[in-house]
């Protein structure tokens, strides 16, 4: 396609040493860049609106900014065509380069500020990444501008040094943006303030004796789904049902979120609890004295009893987690086929603070 455009729009295309031919190539590149970026912008925004994807729409606006950069470059090439005069006897090529660089910096800085502001308002990692990309572009262009000015007045070539500094900054900004996006994809801990609000709501219902596995599934732009397990006694089953529905309604009213709450009916048997924890510890001690039990509970599930707990262990035992859990399961199920053991392994990375 570009070969066809070159044949149509560039005369003497093989005479690349001719300044006019070089400018024609640069102009064609800018025009094609503008058209392609506008096409991508239109397509992505249309698809983003139809699919309700903010990420695709934001990427479309990023193509629009790239089209703007191409437009600024085209303006520079037009300025550079003016011949020499009494003020600039060698033409306006360098002046045009400076104008293009300054305009590019101003455009990218402006884009950085509004993308950063919108990213903060909407809590969108996509817009934050776009802002980081804009500031990286503006710093890179600033380095080129400084290099151009210094080289002009001092004849000292610093392009290489500027290039290294810019590369380091762009790499840092890119890794930081990628880390933020990966953090959202992998999942992150619940916002402390929202978590406190949820726990305060739960405390208003005395029949709920414990909350486990409280999670916020963040889908961006302030929308999230809450899931948790609440524990209570079977004798309070009717009131527990009313309470969890009331909590879900209050969360919807306050945060406009969906909420999924599972009720665990606790088996209050101190003798059985002590016996099972002793057996579990006897298995774990074969591997390490540092393995501990946390959040132990017995849950009634019809004819079965779920033995649920967190196994907190030192990092050096990570490769043996599956083996340890299997030994515990085999031990308890040998005790009684009624026991269904559910173990959540947690790597301890800080001084241990739980007590048996």
Does the pLDDT value for residue 354 go beyond 50? no
Residue 90, C-beta contacts closer than 8 angstroms, at least 6 positions apart: 84
Return the closest-CA partner of residue 36 out of 63, 74, 69: 63
Res. 47 pLDDT band, cuts 50 70 90: confident
193-218 mean pLDDT: 89
The predicted-structure confidence for 262-303, as pLDDT tens digits, reads as follows 999 999 899 999 999 999 999 999 999 999 999 999 998 888
Q: DSSP state, 18?
A: S
pLDDT band at residue 166 using 50, 70 and 90 as cut-offs: low
What are 293's two structure tokens? 């039990």
Reported confidence tier of residue 92, pLDDT bands at 50, 70, 90: very low
Superfamily of domain 192-265: Cation efflux protein, cytoplasmic domain (3.30.70.1350)
CATH value of 270-348 in 3.40.50.970, 3.40.30.10, 3.30.70.1350, 1.10.1060.10: 3.30.70.1350
Q: What is the mean pLDDT of the chain?
A: 77
The crossing angle, in degrees rounded to 10, of helices 125-154 and 159-186 is 180
Look at residue 93 and tell me whether its pLDDT is greater than 50.
Answer: no
Closest to 22 in 3D by CA, of 93, 98, 99: 93
Beta bridge partners of 304: 301
Query: Which residue in this structure is represented by tokens 């094609």?
Result: 32
- 65: confidence class by pLDDT, cuts 50, 70, 90: low
Cα–Cα distance measured from residue 3 to residue 6, given in angstroms and rounded to the nearest whole number: 5
Residue 197 or 85, more confident: 197
Q: Give the pLDDT band (50/70/90) at residue 168.
A: confident
Choice among 80-89, 205-214, 249-258 with the minimum mean pLDDT: 80-89
Residue 206: predicted pLDDT: 93
Q: Where in the chain is CATH 3.30.70.1350? A: 192-265, 270-348
Strands 304-314 and 292-301: antiparallel
Question: What gap in Å lies between CA 129 and CA 41, rounded to an integer?
Answer: 18
pLDDT of residue 302: 85
């Amino acid at each position: 396609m570009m070969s066809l455009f070159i044949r149509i729009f560039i005369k003497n295309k093989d005479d690349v040493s001719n300044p006019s031919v070089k400018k024609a190539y640069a102009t064609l590149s800018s025009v094609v860049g503008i058209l392609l970026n506008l096409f991508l912008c239109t397509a992505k925004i249309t698809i983003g609106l139809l699919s309700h994807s903010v990420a695709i729409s934001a990427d479309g606006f990023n193509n629009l900014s790239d089209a703007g950069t191409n437009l600024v470059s085209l303006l520079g090439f037009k300025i550079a065509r003016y011949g020499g005069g009494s003020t600039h006897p060698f033409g306006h090529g360098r002046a045009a380069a400076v104008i293009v660089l300054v305009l590019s910096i101003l455009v990218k800085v402006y884009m950085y500020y509004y993308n950063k502001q919108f990213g903060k308002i909407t809590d969108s990692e996509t817009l934050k990444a776009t802002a980081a990309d804009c500031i990286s572009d503006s710093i890179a262009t600033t380095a080129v501008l400084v290099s151009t000015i210094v080289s002009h007045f001092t004849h000292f070539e610093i392009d290489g040094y500027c290039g290294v500094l810019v590369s380091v900054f762009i790499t840092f900004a890119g890794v930081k943006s990628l880390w933020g996006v990966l953090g959202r994809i992998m999942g992150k801990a619940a916002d402390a303030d929202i978590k406190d609000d949820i726990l305060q709501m739960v405390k208003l219902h005395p029949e709920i004796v414990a909350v486990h596995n409280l999670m916020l599934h963040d889908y961006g732009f302030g929308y999230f789904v809450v899931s948790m397990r609440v524990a209570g006694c079977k004798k309070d089953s009717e009131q527990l049902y009313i309470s969890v529905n009331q909590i879900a309604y209050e969360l919807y009213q306050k945060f406009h979120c969906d909420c999924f709450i599972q009720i665990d009916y606790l088996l209050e048997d101190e003798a059985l609890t002590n016996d099972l924890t002793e057996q579990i510890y006897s298995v774990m001690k074969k591997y390490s004295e540092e393995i501990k039990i946390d959040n132990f509970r017995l849950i009634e599930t019809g004819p079965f009893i779920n033995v649920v707990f967190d196994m907190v262990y030192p990092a050096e035992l990570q490769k043996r987690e599956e083996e340890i859990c299997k030994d515990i399961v085999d031990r308890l199920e040998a005790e009684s086929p009624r026991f269904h053991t559910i173990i959540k392994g947690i790597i301890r990375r800080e001084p241990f603070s739980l007590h048996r």
